[in-house]
Amino acid sequence: YFKNKKELLLEALTYAFVNIKQLTGVQETSLFDGNLEAALTAFEKIHIQYYDFHEELEGLRHSDKDVAELYDSFYDTAMQQIFEQLPQAIKDDPNAKEKLSLVIALMEHYCHISAKEAVMATKKESPKSKAFELDLTYIRKKILEIAKELC
Helix (H) or strand (E) holding 135: none
Residue 139 CA: distances (Å) to CA of 28, 33, 88: 23, 21, 28
Helix (H) or strand (E) holding 39: helix 36-49
pTM for this prediction:
0.80
- Tens-digit pLDDT profile for the chain (151 aa)? 768 888 888 988 899 888 877 777 766 555 556 678 888 888 888 889 888 888 888 999 999 999 999 999 999 998 998 888 888 998 999 999 999 999 999 999 999 999 888 888 787 766 655 656 788 899 999 999 998 888 7
